[in-house]
Structure 1
């Protein structure tokens, strides 16, 4: 998985201030989201996260430590494209340190069936 390609794509297409990517192994990556997110940056983050799965990782860890509280619309904008891409590519996605409101939004949207949750640091 070419780490350079992810960074190049993110620089051109994503909310650079919102998304940090690091490769943690040959088949794993960690993406940290930084908030606050608005509707536009949430949609761009969702597209960026889905695109990152094109590189073929087997595991993706989404760290929300610095993302703040995401309501249902922002949670959907970020995680629906990611969940669709993860399911299509058989990538295991774990969401780390989601705020209570974000976790409730993931459950309400049914995304807790596709995305795992952990309070451990990725």
Structure 2
């Protein structure tokens, strides 16, 4: 029985031997319980032989996904700040360029002279708006 079960687990069993094994397992419940235990043990041993067990691969995948999400969250935040800065600079430039053209204020001054012996008061320059 143990030889048939080991052949079945390794995959080196013929169809006649497989039929014999399954028939014995159906007839004897203790043998069926023992075969299930051996099959579970074989599965555990095969997982231990793997270079990277499944749990390690899942953990690494989980950690990688967390790092990726954190990176994209930070990049989205930085992109938001950059968009605000670009919008501020661009709107300031456009306002200064197009809104300031029609309302330029030019400072003008007047020159005058007084005859000798007379005094003149200080006069503020006049400002004229064009447009």
TM exceeding 0.5: no
Q: Which has the higher contact order (CA 8 A, sep 6+)?
A: 1
Q: With structure 2 as the length reference, what TM-score do the two structures score? A: 0.21
Give the number of the structure whose alpha-carbon radius of gyration is greater. 2
